[in-house]
A and B are shown apart, each in its own frame.
Chain A
Amino acid sequence: RRSDAQAEKWYKRHLTYQVVNWPRHLSLGSVRLAVRAAFQLWSNVSNLVFEEASEGPADIRLAFYEGDHNDGTGNAFDGPGGTLAHAFLPRRGEAHFDMAERWTLNGHKGHNLFMVTAHEIGHTLGLEHSPVRHALMSPYYRKLGRSMVLSWDDILAVQQLYGKPSGNRPVRLPGQVLHAALQEWEFTELQTPGLPLYCRGVFDAITMDEKKTVLVFRGNVYWTISAEGGQSGPLLLRQRWPELPQAIEAAAFSQLDSKWYFFRGKRIWRYTGNVLDSGFPMKTSELGLPRRPDSAFYYAPLGHMVLFKGARYYILNLKSLQQEPYYPRKLMDWNGIPQGTNGALTRPDGRLYLFRDQRFWRFDPMKVRVTREGQWARDLSWTGC
């Protein structure tokens, strides 16, 4: 074991960093903003100063990899879920993020890149995991909420290594600054003319109503594409469904009862038109369902709602609002459909379409297998891209 005196730390106070690559569906600008705010967290409470390296080697490098990436630890990334990122103690100066994760900024469906980055930067500075509840350095990443990001233990640990901030430097609250900046960033992106933002490859949910209108949800807005191809949006989610949270993780319109079902975290909302049914939102656990499903859809051949989550799927009986017996089962029943899909809908011809990043899979209920796949923004004209 290392004695304290040998704690691995940096011996200089001014450190540079570099974002080597980033997920394609996030703009470089928003990633740089989030990374800068994450470093600011630590400089606010210690005697460290960080600067983004414009060129040449940086002290700390942030990079995204997929699967095995030969970093000498043998710790390959494991696809969606599981391990999201890892980093090295000083003075190696590296933090690695799993490119296969659904990274998000600004509260969308997925893992918050700002919080994970702030945690991994802690490791690059020499901090280990903390057992303190709600510490940023807890091994299980915290959610970005309203409370302070750093706990007392995080601050104590970094000050033990690098000392307190010298008195005269301004302290900015990265959390709020970042949040406001990203909202503004997203708003300007939403307003830019051209294809809707979701065409870049990521949306939170997709479904189709009884008039065959497709609805695509992303963050606090949604777009509609009519059966004739007419588009509208971005429209504010809460203008039509006021009780919903800022963003959702799954949505499904059920032809069985002509109701809307929305999922986020541990809750499920059910609407008739835009009126919330009494008794909703409910806890998904009360229905025997998991929290944070990947996707949800009404599946006519079964006459029930289907929810995908990780390697399993759940069947919800919409009449009894209970999970059907003998479920969940393994996703392998759905031959060819991968894990981690972020949306699914049934087209008028009865075929089921599932989406993940830029790809789609078409599942044929008669053949009970995937019969087509490709890039949905390019190949499916009814997605409005």
Chain B
Amino acid sequence: VPARGSPLVVDPQDFLEKYGYLHHEHQIHNSVEIHSAIREFQWLSHLPITGELDSATLLQMAEPRCGVSDEGSQKNWGQRVNLIFTGRRRPQRRR
């Protein structure tokens, strides 16, 4: 019976793409994108924001989690907080 199961070590780029921190369509990501993606993940995971793939970040990536993407969680949370303090929805900027 082949051994199955999740590897303890996660491929960081796959992880950042899968959970919405790096966009799939950009197969090659420049260092600015990658550092920014790592920082965003560290922010959401309440880790020290270093932008580096340090051991704490790698350990967190390997923890059991939900398979839904994290994309949008920061923006929507920002809107909710804004709602609390201003009682108004921030108008959507049109790009």
A binds B: yes
On A, residues with C-beta under 8 Å from B are 1-4, 75, 77-87, 100-101, 111, 116, 119-120, 123, 128-133, 139-141, 153, 156-157, 160, 309-312, 331-332, 336-340, 373
A133-B46, A311-B7, A312-B8 known; A338-B70 Cβ under 8 A: no
Residue from the set A77, A78, A128 with the largest chain B CB neighbour count within 10 Å: A128
A131 to chain B, nearest CB (A): 5
A128-B76, A139-B19, A140-B63 known; A156-B7 Cβ under 8 A: no
In the complex formed, the residue of A with least CB distance to B75 is A1
Instruction: Tell me if A131 and B65 are in contact (CB < 8 A).
Output: no
B72 to chain A, nearest CB (A): 5
B73 contact from A86, A128, A133, A336, Cβ within 8 A: A128
Interchain CA distance A130-B75 in the complex, whole Å: 10
A4-B92, A338-B1, A373-B1 known; A129-B6 Cβ under 8 A: no
Interface size band for B: 35 or more
Known: A4-B89, A82-B6, A82-B62. 20 other contacts (CB 8 A): A1-B75, A75-B67, A83-B6, A84-B66, A86-B68, A128-B70, A128-B71, A129-B44, A129-B68, A129-B70, A131-B74, A139-B19, A139-B70, A139-B73, A140-B45, A140-B66, A141-B66, A309-B8, A311-B9, A339-B4
Instruction: Tell me if A338 and B67 are in contact (CB < 8 A).
Output: no
A385 to chain B, nearest CB (A): 21
**Chain A residues, CB < 8 A from B83:** 156, 160
On B, residues with C-beta under 8 Å from A are 1, 3-10, 18-19, 43-46, 60, 62-77, 79-80, 83-84, 89, 92
A80-B5, A131-B74 known; A140-B92 Cβ under 8 A: no
Instruction: Tell me if A4 and B67 are in contact (CB < 8 A).
Output: no
A4-B89, A79-B5, A79-B6 known; A132-B77 Cβ under 8 A: yes
**Chain A residues, CB < 8 A from B67:** 75, 77, 83-86
Interchain CA distance A101-B1 in the complex, whole Å: 18
**Chain B residues, CB < 8 A from A101:** 64
**Chain B residues, CB < 8 A from A111:** 64
